[in-house]
Amino acid sequence: MTGIPTIWAHVADQSDLDGMVEVVDRLHLESVPCDLAITGPEDLSHPDFDVENLRDFDPTARSIKTLVWMDNAVNTRVLGQSHRSGMPVILANISTNVLEGQPSVWQKPLAQSTLKTAKFALVQTRKDKDHLLSLGVDPRVVQVTGVLQGCGLPPSYDASERQEIVKALTGCQIFFARGVPMAELDLILDAYDQARRNVRKLVLFLDPMDEKDAPAMADAARARKLSVAERAVEALPEASTNVFVTDGAFERGLWYSLAVTTYLGGTFRGDTCANPLVSAAVGSALIAGPNVPKHHAAMARMQAADAVTLVPTENELGQEIARCVRPETAAQYAQAGWTMVANAAEGINRTVDLIKDILQPDAP
């Protein structure tokens, strides 16, 4: 069997899925060629990967090199077959609470022997580790790394250009409206008008969801007598700029890095939006509307960490922007988001290292 090495991940929920996609993205950034095959519940989805039903999945049809099992409903048959085929198994996100709720299963020698075949077991707490040890898992393979979930890869940017914009906008507060559909344009411009009455030198970085909408968005802002600069025309904003219309997805890391606070476009009137974890990863306080398409699990984590401001109605968006660009408020949300991301990063980092060792055992 030939072809690019494939990682098989069996996930339990969207957070698991997002975490594994991020692991593969990290491996690609580190020049480790690999693909990802995912099995899990039918209601999960990702734009770049299909989620297959475990019952119908045939691992022998792929060049699979390792299995990352992230489901508390541990399938002893699948793990046993994987071990017998020589496929290394990594257990991740296994919870003591679930295992202890299945004593009739885990008191059986066969089930315990299946767990013992794991090459690595990454658990969330010391309690989880102790329980696996009580079931006979080798202490050398169990590591406490926290939860393996997506933590939002911070996008790159040109540091010299960032410094140039900071210099041009000295004393300004930057509000980044990320991925705004045309349906939300009036909403964002209305909210900006409201917020800037209470915030000195507030600049809106307006990022179209579809870059082809940039000229129309610039024209709409000018029609409101706002001073507008366009990335595709003037290249950089000036101190007098009210609205700076961005251009192209590849520079979003730069706009994120400059923003005191970020609005997640599409969460009022859209059917899609960006991953909210990216804002947390770059330290920009996040504001979102009540609808977060396709990123429910990530947003639930940010809510639990008090790392996002959810605005229930459109009329309240302007006042929340004004509140969140205050230094003390922005710092509070940014710190909460960063803490959440850092807690997830260890699980991501350790999984990346383990898979690299499996895929490239002879690498220096």
One domain, residues 125 and 73: yes
One domain, residues 147 and 288: no
Give the domain CATH number at 60: 3.40.50.2000
**Stretch among 88-97, 276-285, 353-362 having the lowest mean pLDDT:** 88-97
One domain, residues 248 and 196: yes
Domain span at 306: 159-342
One domain, residues 146 and 38: yes
- 84 vs 101: which has the higher pLDDT: 84
Give per-residue pLDDT as tens, 16-35: 898 999 999 999 999 999 99
pLDDT number for residue 313: 97
- The rounded mean pLDDT for the chain is 89
The Cα–Cα gap between 346 and 82 comes to 26
One domain, residues 120 and 176: no
Average pLDDT for residues 277-304, to the nearest whole number? 88
pLDDT number for residue 275: 87
pLDDT number for residue 131: 84
Is 59 exposed, middle or buried, given 0-12, 13-18 or 19+ CB atoms closer than 10 A? middle
Our measurement of the distance from residue 198's CA atom to the centroid of its chain's CA atoms, rounded to an integer in Å, reads 32
One domain, residues 19 and 86: yes
What total of structural domains would you count in the chain?
Answer: 2
pLDDT number for residue 1: 43
pTM score? 0.79
Residue 1 is assigned to a structural domain of this protein: no
Average pLDDT for residues 249-275, to the nearest whole number? 93
The Cα–Cα gap between 28 and 149 comes to 18
Q: Give yes or no for residue 193 having a pLDDT over 70.
A: yes
One domain, residues 236 and 313: yes
One domain, residues 167 and 132: no
Residue 364 is assigned to a structural domain of this protein: no
The Cα–Cα gap between 75 and 155 comes to 37
